[in-house]
């Protein structure tokens, strides 16, 4: 299987993760205003699973390091398989909450608040399980990201209608998403060996590619329950029958699959990068997606165009907090 041999390319992989995780949600908007997020999400989940299979049978089965995908499946311990599957279930619930929040409040709010909170919790949880990097610089960077989250929430509350039921619902969904999203990565990481052992692969543990496969399988299987419930009891709008999915156009379905594949590339690169960066740093840098998504929401989708005077300084400080915070997280591994 393919593994990285130094920290520098691991940082590059984390940056790619950041852009993938921060950009996939654009496909939800591109799918069209009439295509409900619950319907979009079926195709998104399929895209994540398909991409995990592509990685498994390609670079997950090449090279001399570790074990190839098929050999890894045959020796995997059931507890590690269960851990990766559970990570997928937790992620799926969190991500549906995120997609619902995007639908209600927009990318510029749902990502910085939801995924920003997930970054803070995820770095702490993964660092406790696998201490890697200078804790002072790492957690100082996380603290700055937390400040950026508060600034984004403050900017959002200045928008017309933010205090109404729908606006506050979007903010609450973002917070719930962040709490759950902060824990899914730890279950996936627990199914794999310590980062230093990626090239050796102890018996019973999953390779990054096998872990990604079972993780995405957990997402796919749990979606039949989770998304079915959401369709019948939606956060907004009327309940949806299953027949509505088959009334979508090819364009509607294609954007969902593409969105899932983009996110899966980010997840796979994050796991590969963890071999040299450590799980806490890799996850933390990847969740710099919040800054990327905020950029899309503010400058491309113009989600703050109706904000009153005085909001722009808050948004500028938010971006500054993210940039400096992520820089400190990168430095933490080198000091």
Would residue 64 count as lying in a domain? yes
Model-wide pTM > 0.75: yes
Q: Check residue 311 and give its pLDDT.
A: 92
For residue range 77-114, list pLDDT tens digits in order: 999 999 999 999 999 999 999 888 877 877 667 777 88
The residue with tokens 């917070």 is 175
CA distances from 329 to 20, 33, 135, 196, 286 (A): 19, 37, 9, 19, 11
Would residue 286 count as lying in a domain? yes
What phi and psi, each to the nearest 5 degrees, are found at residue 323? -60, -50
Measured distance CA(165)–CA(32) in Å, rounded: 24
Q: Check residue 223 and give its pLDDT.
A: 97
Would residue 294 count as lying in a domain? yes
Residue 50's Cβ-side half-sphere holds a number of Cα atoms within 13 Å equal to 14
Contact predicate 333/281, CB 8 Å: yes
Q: Which domain holds residue 254?
A: 7-332
Kindly provide the b/e burial profile for residues 264-284, where b requires at least 16 CB atoms within 10 angstroms of the residue's own CB.
bbbbbbbbbbbbbbbbbbbbb
Average of per-residue pLDDT across 166-192: 89
- SS3 labels along the chain: CCCCCCHHHHHHHHHHHHHHHHHCCHHHHHCCCCCCHHHHHHHHHHHHHHHHHHHHHCHHHCCCCCCCHHHHHHHCCHHHHHHHHHHHHHHHHHHHHHHHHHHHHCHHHHHHHHHHHHHHHHHHHHHHHCCCCCHHHHHHHHHHHHHHHHHHHHHHCCCCCCCCHHHHHHHHHHHHHHHHHHHHHHHHHHCCCCHHHCCCCCCCCCCHHHHHHHHHHHHHHHHHHHHHHHHHCCCCCCCCCHHHHHHCCHHHHHHHHHHHHHHHHHHHHHHHHHHHHCHHHHHHHHCCHHHHHHHHHHHHCCCCCCCCCCHHHHHHHHHHHHHHHHHHHHHHCCC
Measured distance CA(286)–CA(294) in Å, rounded: 14
Would residue 51 count as lying in a domain? yes
Task: Report the chain's terminal Cα–Cα distance, integer Å.
Answer: 29
Q: Check residue 236 and give its pLDDT.
A: 81
Contact predicate 17/266, CB 8 Å: yes
Would residue 203 count as lying in a domain? yes
Least confident of 223-232, 269-278, 290-299: 290-299
Query: Pick the residue with more confidence: 162 or 19?
Result: 19
Average of per-residue pLDDT across 210-231: 97
Would residue 160 count as lying in a domain? yes
For residue range 124-173, list pLDDT tens digits in order: 999 999 898 899 999 999 999 889 888 877 887 787 765 555 667 888 89
Would residue 173 count as lying in a domain? yes
Measured distance CA(211)–CA(88) in Å, rounded: 10
Average of per-residue pLDDT across 15-40: 90
Measured distance CA(95)–CA(101) in Å, rounded: 10
Distance of CA 102 to the CA centre of its chain: 14
For residue range 277-331, list pLDDT tens digits in order: 999 999 989 888 878 888 888 888 887 888 898 899 999 999 999 899 989 999 9
Would residue 1 count as lying in a domain? no
Number of independent structural domains in the chain? 1
């Amino acid at each position: 299987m393919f593994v990285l041999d130094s920290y520098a390319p691991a940082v590059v992989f984390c940056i790619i993760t950041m852009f993938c995780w921060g950009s996939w949600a654009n496909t939800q908007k591109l799918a069209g205003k009439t295509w409900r997020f619950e319907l979009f999400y079926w195709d998104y989940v399929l895209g994540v699973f398909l991409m995990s299979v592509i990685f498994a049978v390609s670079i997950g089965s090449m090279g001399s390091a570790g074990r190839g995908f098929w050999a890894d499946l045959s020796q995997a311990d059931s507890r590690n398989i269960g851990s990766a599957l559970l990570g997928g279930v937790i992620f799926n619930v969190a991500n549906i909450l995120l997609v619902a929040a995007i639908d209600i409040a927009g990318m510029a709010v749902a990502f910085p608040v939801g995924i920003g909170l997930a970054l803070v919790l995820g770095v702490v949880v993964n660092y406790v399980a696998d201490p890697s990097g200078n804790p002072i610089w790492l957690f100082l960077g996380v603290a700055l990201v937390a400040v950026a989250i508060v600034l984004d929430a403050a900017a959002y509350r200045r928008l017309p209608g933010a205090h109404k039921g729908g606006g506050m619902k979007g903010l609450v969904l973002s917070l719930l998403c962040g709490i759950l999203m902060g824990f899914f990565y730890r279950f996936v990481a627990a199914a794999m060996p310590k980062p230093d052992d990626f090239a050796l692969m102890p018996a019973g543990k999953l390779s990054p590619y096998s872990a990604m496969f079972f993780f995405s399988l957990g997402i796919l299987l749990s979606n039949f329950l989770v998304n079915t419930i959401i369709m019948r009891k939606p956060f907004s709008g009327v309940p949806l029958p299953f027949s509505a999915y088959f009334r979508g156009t090819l364009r509607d379905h294609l954007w969902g699959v593409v969105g899932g594949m983009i996110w899966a590339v980010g997840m796979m690169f994050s796991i590969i990068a963890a071999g040299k960066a450590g799980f806490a740093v890799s996850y933390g840098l990847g969740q710099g997606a919040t800054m990327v998504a905020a950029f899309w929401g503010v400058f491309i989708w113009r989600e703050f165009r109706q904000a009153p005077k005085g909001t722009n300084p808050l948004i500028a400080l938010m971006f500054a907090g993210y940039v400096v915070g992520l820089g400190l997280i990168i430095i933490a591994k080198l000091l």
